[in-house]
Amino acid sequence: MDILPNMLFVIILLISINIFTRNILKIKNNINLGRSIDRSDNKSARWKNMARIALGQSKMVSRPIAGILHVVVYIGFLIINIELLEIVVDGIFGTHRVFAPFLGSAYNVLIATFEIFAFLVLSAVLVFWARRNIIRLNRFRKSEMKGWPKLDADLILYFEIVLMSLFLTMNGADFYIQTNFPTATDYHQAGSFPISQFMTSIFDGMALNSVILVERSAWWMHIIGIFIFLNYLYYSKHLHILLAFPNTYFANLNAKGGFANNPTVTAEVKLMMDPDADPYSVSEATSDEPEKFGASDVMDLNRVQLLNAYTCTECGRCTSECPANQTGKLLSPRKIMMDTRDRLTEVGNNIQENKGVFVPDGKQLYNDYITAEELWACTSCNACVQACPIDIDPLSIIMSMRQYLVMEESAAPADLNNMMGNIENNGAPWPFNQQDRLNWAEDP
Amino acid sequence: MIKVPTLAQLTAEGKTPEILFWVGCAGSFDERAKKITKAFVKLLHNTGVSYAVLGAEESCTGDPAKRSGNEFIFQMQAVTNIEVLNGYGIKKIVTACPHCFNTLKNEYPELGGSYEVVHHTQLLKELLDDGKLTIESGTYKGKKITFHDPCYLGRANNVYEAPRELIKKLDAELVEMKNCKAKGLCCGAGGAQMFKEPENGSKDINIERTEQALEVKPDIVAAGCPFCNTMLTDGIKSKEKESEVPVMDIAELIANAKDL
């Protein structure tokens, strides 16, 4: 028996796993550039959150059309992965439909299910494509979606169309051989083909070798296509298929309105309020460089914020719910996530090119990617956080960056400086005397 | 005129009120919000709740400073307030401002101030359930009322039903806007926007929200936040509808219905 194809398969498999692993490690390293944050609490609630939101897609269906179509593609993706297992085993050992003898009639059910889902996925993906390219939904046409993000989104859909078509072609050819060429012993009777049986007419009149060639080509192109797609993830917005799980696990489970108290400030305030504290002795004991207040670059953000950035798949639900964006302001929560990810990739590449050290490139997240105008447009209403189907929190990044603007750069709008001055001086955002706080009770 | 007890007075008399009414800056100083404060105080008296206010000992929670990014001012305000609250041994706080509510409830505990914090609509709902608050008058019978969810009450803290149940108790017809509850649209004041000019855009957020409210043709727009109240009142003024569609706090609606 010719083992050349098997060897070739194993080599391709190993190469693709290798590249994939390296890219995942790169992502891990980049995320670890962020400040650490403790999300080790509440494990059972975290697993539940992941099960409900990532596995159970509970937030997807708040928009029923996109939601249901997505659920179809998602279940299809999960189910067809079982078939992938058989394809890999067949590839390594040179077998054909190796699971069939073990599963008996259950195999027929399995293959039939794969076929139906392949067809459903294909249909859903065509609708997705139409929503982006024919209906041209507003949220897919925002300014941050020009160029690569648009192409990236379309490429993913093309990948899926091609992969599903190849899968069905491979099955159709297989079924044709099984029914018309009983002498082709490699193609034993296995599987039930509710969808691809309708394709068999295209093989009518073809010689056995030609049909085998079609079947083999489709088989190889399908599996190689999957390996390419797997490695395309790193370069695309599509990582959510993996990262949605850790992202929902590490998500903020507390009330959305409670913003984290900046621990650097807490330490300083404690010091100021403590009459026994000796400010000079403490400053020596702490690290040489005082920690920056807030975030001007990706390293100042925390790891969950960075994980959020890699997880975003640019669906734009956040932006379409954002009151600032709806009223024509520059702010788009999706762009906040995309900018954070792009800057993080840039910083990560810089470190890799410079053998593990970041060489300042004269850029940062603030201003080179996200401008003050965007940050000041936010009403902190949490609509973006609520809208995200996988618990990404653009608002926390906006708040971290506002902290940098105000506490490091003193760059708040003048009106806000007045307001903050009032709070400091008289305990209210307006210039009223604290002693007059009960005057309302005296009013007639 | 109602005599409003302060904690300092009650403490001097050796009394401990069950609940602190945190009035907030808007409730203390803003002309429109002061009316809400008074309506709520009337309801507190009417229902016999044992309460007090801090008066001159109250200070800004620090919310607008925090949302602006000034953690220093926020945390300084927080620790100062917490010192006062803990000094009086406060257990439960009610406030008519969702921003104060959120900050006291979610951001103070980590800094040493843990209290049971409720929004005034939650307390009123509680009093209603306990039979202490009765609403039988037909002032608003059959009126179409739409409720604007304050972001810091709704999405931020998942309180959607208390205000709605109170409106239903008024015998009014509760009509929902296109965007409501978890999908409610902000009035435009949050995140310290109240205190600055909006950034450049095609429209002001409060106008967008006002249009959503007017779309359902309400007789009254109900609010549960002094800042939302201001934003929507301004929006309705700009549509020249102020004589037809008043913006009212839930506490005011109930106080009116009870003829207080």
Least confident of A266-270, B190-194, B224-228: A266-270
Given this model, what pLDDT does residue B66 score?
A: 98
Mutation to test the B interface, candidates A423, A432, A434, A438, most B Cβ within 10 Å: A423
Q: How many angstroms separate the first and last alpha carbons of chain A?
A: 101
Q: Which helix (H) or strand (E) holds B249?
A: strand B247-249
B201 and A324: CB-CB below 8 Å?
yes
pLDDT tens per residue, range A29-55: 999 999 999 999 999 999 999 999 999
How many Cβ atoms sit within 10 Å of the Cβ of residue A301? 27
d(CA A340, CA A310): 9
- Asked if B124 contacts B254 with a C-beta cutoff of 8 angstroms, the reply is yes
Measure the CA–CA gap between A108 and A248, rounded to whole angstroms: 36
Q: Which residue of A has its CA nearest to B191?
A: A379
Around A215, how many Cα atoms within 13 Å sit in the side-chain half-sphere?
A: 23
Mean pLDDT of A421-438: 97
Chain A residues close to B193, C-beta within 8 Å: 379
- Residue A422: per-residue pLDDT: 98
> Is residue A285 scored above 50 in pLDDT?
no
Instruction: Give the bridge partners for A302, in sequence order.
Output: A35
User: What's the whole-number mean pLDDT along residues B13-34?
Assistant: 97
Cβ contact B182:A386 at 8 Å: yes
Do B24 and B96 form a contact (C-beta atoms < 8 A)? yes
Cα separation, A132 vs A138, in Å, equals 9
Angle at A260 between CA A257 and CA B193, to 5 degrees: 55
The pLDDT, as a whole number, for residue A279 is 60
The Cα–Cα gap between A245 and B122 comes to 35
Query: What's the confidence (pLDDT) of residue A149?
Result: 97
Residue ranges of domains in chain B, CATH in brackets: 7-126 (3.40.50), 135-257 (3.40.50.1860)
Q: With left for phi above 0 and alpha for psi between -120 and 50, is residue A382 left, alpha or beta?
A: left
Residue A439: its chain B contacts at CB < 8 A?
A: 28
User: What's the rounded mean pLDDT across residues A78-86?
Assistant: 90
Minimum Cα–Cα distance from A378: chain B residue: B191
Tell me the three state secondary structure of residue B173. strand
Q: Is the pLDDT of residue A220 over 80?
A: yes
B interface mutation test: which of A59, A142, A252, A259 has the most B CBs within 10 A?
Answer: A259
pLDDT per residue over A356-365, tens digit each?
Answer: 999 999 999 9
Residue A265 to chain B, least CA–CA distance (Å): 6
> Residues near A295 by Cβ (< 8 Å), separated by ≥ 6?
A301, A365, A366, A397, A400, A401, A403, A404
What is the percent of chain A with per-residue pLDDT over 90, rounded to a whole number?
Answer: 89
Share of chain B above pLDDT 70, in %: 100
User: What's the mean pLDDT when you consider all of chain B?
Assistant: 97
* Residue A288 confidence (pLDDT) above 60: no
Q: Answer whether B144 touches A (CB < 8 Å).
A: no
Q: Over pLDDT 70: what percentage of chain A?
A: 97
- Residues B165-171: what's their mean pLDDT? 94
Q: What is the strand order of the sheet B19-22 is part of?
A: B51-52, B19-22, B92-95, B116-119
> What number of C-beta contacts closer than 8 Å exist between A and B?
227
CB interface of B with A, residues 145-184, below 8 Å: 151-152, 155-158, 182-183
What chain A residue is nearest to B35 in terms of C-alpha separation?
A440
Backbone φ, ψ for residue A192 (5° rounding): -125, 135
CB neighbours (10 Å) of residue A355? 7
Using DSSP, state whether A135 is helix, strand or coil: coil
Residues of B in contact with A442 (CB under 8 A): 1
Q: What is the ipTM of this complex?
A: 0.96
Helices (H), A253-389: 263-273, 279-285, 303-311, 317-321, 323-326, 333-353, 365-368, 372-376, 383-387
**pLDDT for B197-247, tens place per residue?**
999 999 999 999 999 999 999 999 999 999 999 999 999 999 999 999 999
Q: Give the tens place of pLDDT for each residue, A289-348.
A: 678 999 999 999 999 999 999 999 999 999 999 999 999 999 999 999 999 999 999 999
The answer to whether B249 and B41 are in contact (CB under 8 A) is no
**pTM for this predicted structure:** 0.95
- Residue B194 identity (one-letter amino acid): M
Q: Is the pLDDT of residue B18 over 50?
A: yes
Q: What is the pLDDT of residue A284?
A: 47
Distance from CA of B22 to the nearest CA of A (A): 11
Convert A148-164 to b/e letters by CB count within 10 Å (16 or more is b): ebbebbebbbebbbebb
Q: Which of B17, A122, A206 is nearest to B6 (CA)?
A: B17
Tell me the nearest-neighbour CA distance from A86 into chain B, angstroms.
Answer: 44
- Owner of token pair 């969702």: B98
**B51-52 and B220-223 strand pairing:** unpaired
Between CA A282 and CA A290, with CA A285 as vertex, the angle to 5 degrees is: 85
Residue A281 has pLDDT above 70, yes or no: no
Residue A410: CB atoms within 10 A of its CB come to 9
Tell me: pLDDT of B5 over 90: yes
Residue A228 has pLDDT above 90, yes or no: yes
pLDDT tier at B2 (50, 70, 90 boundaries)?
Answer: confident
A88: its two tokens = 């890999």
Is residue A287 scored above 70 in pLDDT?
no
